[in-house]
Amino acid sequence: MKKCAELVLRRYGDHRSPMALVRSYGCQQNVNDGEKIMGMLSEMGFGFTDDVNAADVILYNTCAVRENAEKKVFGFVGELSHCKARNENLLVGLCGCMAQQEHISAKIKKSYPQVDFVFGTHALYRFPEIFCKALTEHQRIFDIENSDGIIAEGIPVRRLGKIQASLPIMYGCNNFCTYCVVPLVRGRERSRSSKDVLQEAREIVAAGYREIMLLGQNVNSYGKDLDNDLSFPELLRAVNDIPGDFRIRFMTSHPKDCTKELIDAVAECNKICNHIHLPVQSGSDRILKLMNRHYTTEEYFSLIDYAREKIPDVMFSSDIIVGFPGETHEDFLETINLVQKVRYASLFTFIYSKRVGTKAASMEDPVSASEKSKWFQELLDVQRKITDELYRDCVGRTYRVLVERTGDHDDYLLAGRTENNIIIDFEGDPSLVGEFAMVEIVSANNRSVRGKLVNE
C-alpha cells in the first residue's frame, strides 16, 4: 500500500489530493467490496468524488446477476471515452462480478480501449498490486484469475454510511440455483472465523453505528466449512451479546437451510430485528425443483408459520423471479397464491434474465417477453395491495425507529425504520438522525407511511 501511495504521489503530484470515483452496483456484498476498495484508495492518498470530470481514477464495481445491470455498465463505460480524451492521466477500471466473467473481460479487451484495468471478485485483496501495475506499466491489465478459497482479512474499509454498517460473514455460494451466476463469479462458500466477525462487530459498535447487517449469499450455511466454530444462530447470539444499543439484521437466508434454531435465535435475542428476508423465488413446486432450490412450498409455509408463532410482529420480504424457463401461467398463478398467503411486507421482483454458464440458460423458454411483463405487472399489483393493507393495519401504533434522512431536501423531514423494516416519514429535528426515537404511525397510503414523534 505504501509503495502504491508513493506511485500515486509521483503520478498526480502533491499540490492536491487525487480524486477517485468508485461506483458499486448490485447486492450489499458488492457494495461492501466497494467500501473496501475505497478504504484501500483512501490509504493511498485518494479523496472521493461523484463527478466523472473531476476524477483521476474511475472504478466501476459491477454486478452480473441480471443482464440490465451489465448493459448499464457498458453504457457508462462507453461514455468515458470523452473523459479519457480530456484527461490523459485518467485511469479507468472495471471490477466485481461482471468483470470476473471471461466473455465480459474479452469484450472489454476488444471493444472498450478506454478501460485500463480489469479485475474480478477473487482479486479484490490484490487491488493495490494491480493498481500499482496500472500506474506504472504502459499496458492494459486483465486479472480475472480464480483464487477461490482465500479470505483476506485486514483490508481497510471506508464505510459509506454512518448509521448502518454491513459486515460480511462469508463469501461465495455453493447452491447453484439453475438461473444464478453468483456461484460462477464469487466461487465456493467460505466463512470468516467467528473471532474475526465478532472483532469487526465490536469495532462497528464502538464506532457508533446503530445497525449491523450480517452479509452472506446464504448466511444459514455460515460455519459449515469451519472446524469447531459457531453455527449461524450461535454467531447471531454472540453478536447480540455485544454490549450497546444497536440492531442486528442479516441477509440472505436460504429457505432450505433456515432452521427453527435460527428462528428461535431471532425470537430470543432483543437486538435482532423481527424482519426476515426469505427469498422464495417461485410458488410452484415444479419450478422450485427446476430452479434447484431444494425446498417445497409446504416446507416454506411451515417456516413462515413457525416464525409467526415465535416472533411477535414479524414481517417478511422475499425475492421472486417471474418467467423462469418453462414457467406456465398455472405456475405463475401459484406464485400469486403464495404471495397472498404469506403476505410479505415487501417484494423484490425480477423478470428472469438468461445468464451465460448457468444451467437454465440451455432450458426451453417459450413464453414471450411481453407475456412475462404482463405477469410481472400483475404480481406488482397484488403485492402493492398487500403492502398497503399491512401498513394500514399499523396506523395508531407506536414504534421505536432508527432515524435516517429522507431522500428529499427538507432537513426536518426524517425517515425512521422500524425493527420490522417499515419506513415512516415524520417531522423532527435533524439532530435525531442516527438516534432511536418513538414514532406513532398516523397514516399509510400508497406504500408511504407518515408518523409523528412521541415523547418517551
Query: If contact means CB under 5 to 8 A according to the sort of partner, which of ligand SF4, ligand SAH, none does residue 321 touch?
Result: ligand SAH
* CA nearest neighbour of 438 among 424, 410, 144, 448: 424
Q: Kindly report the backbone phi and psi dihedral angles of residue 258, in degrees, each rounded to the nearest multiple of 5, phi listed first.
A: -80, 120
Report residue 433 CA to chain centroid gap. Answer: 23
Bridge partners of 159, per DSSP, are: none
Query: If contact means CB under 5 to 8 A according to the sort of partner, which of ligand SF4, ligand SAH, none does residue 183 touch?
Result: ligand SF4
- Contact (Cβ atoms closer than 8 angstroms) between residue 437 and residue 401: yes
Minimum CB distance to ligand SAH, residue 353 (Å): 4
How many C-alpha atoms does 216 have within 13 Å on its Cβ side? Answer: 24
Query: If contact means CB under 5 to 8 A according to the sort of partner, which of ligand SAH, ligand SF4, none does residue 176 touch?
Result: ligand SF4
Under the binding rule (CB under 6 A), the answer on residue 169 touching ligand SF4 is: no
State in Å, rounded, how far the first CA of the chain is from the last one.
49
Q: Which residues bind ligand SAH (CB under 6 A)?
A: 65-66, 179-180, 182, 217-218, 252, 254, 279, 281, 319, 321, 350, 352-353, 355
Site string for ligand SF4, 208-247 (x = CB under 6 A): ---------xx-----------------------------
Minimum CB distance to ligand SAH, residue 358 (Å): 7
Query: Any known ligand binding at 27?
Result: yes
Q: Binding residue for ligand SF4 (CB under 6 A) from 19, 57, 173, 205?
A: 173
Residue nearer to ligand SAH on the CB measure, 192 or 355: 355
* All residues at 6 or more sequence positions from 6 whose CB lies less than 8 Å from its CB, including other chains: none
* CA nearest neighbour of 28 among 187, 217, 202, 281: 217
Bridge partners of 248, per DSSP, are: 212, 272
Cα distance between residue 166 and residue 159, in whole Å: 8
- Contact (Cβ atoms closer than 8 angstroms) between residue 275 and residue 421: yes
Under the binding rule (CB under 6 A), the answer on residue 191 touching ligand SF4 is: no
Among 168-176, 360-368, 380-388, 395-403, the segment contacting ligand SF4 (CB under 6 A): 168-176
At which residue does the C-alpha cell 452496483 appear? 25
Cα distance between residue 246 and residue 211, in whole Å: 5
Query: If contact means CB under 5 to 8 A according to the sort of partner, which of ligand SF4, ligand SAH, none does residue 55 touch?
Result: none
Q: Binding residue for ligand SF4 (CB under 6 A) from 254, 271, 275, 277?
A: 254
Give the annotated binding-site residues. Answer: 27, 63, 97, 173, 177, 180
Give the annotated binding-site residues for [4Fe-4S] cluster. Answer: 27, 63, 97, 173, 177, 180
Name the site residues for ligand SF4 (rule: CB under 6 A).
173, 175-177, 180, 182-183, 217-218, 254
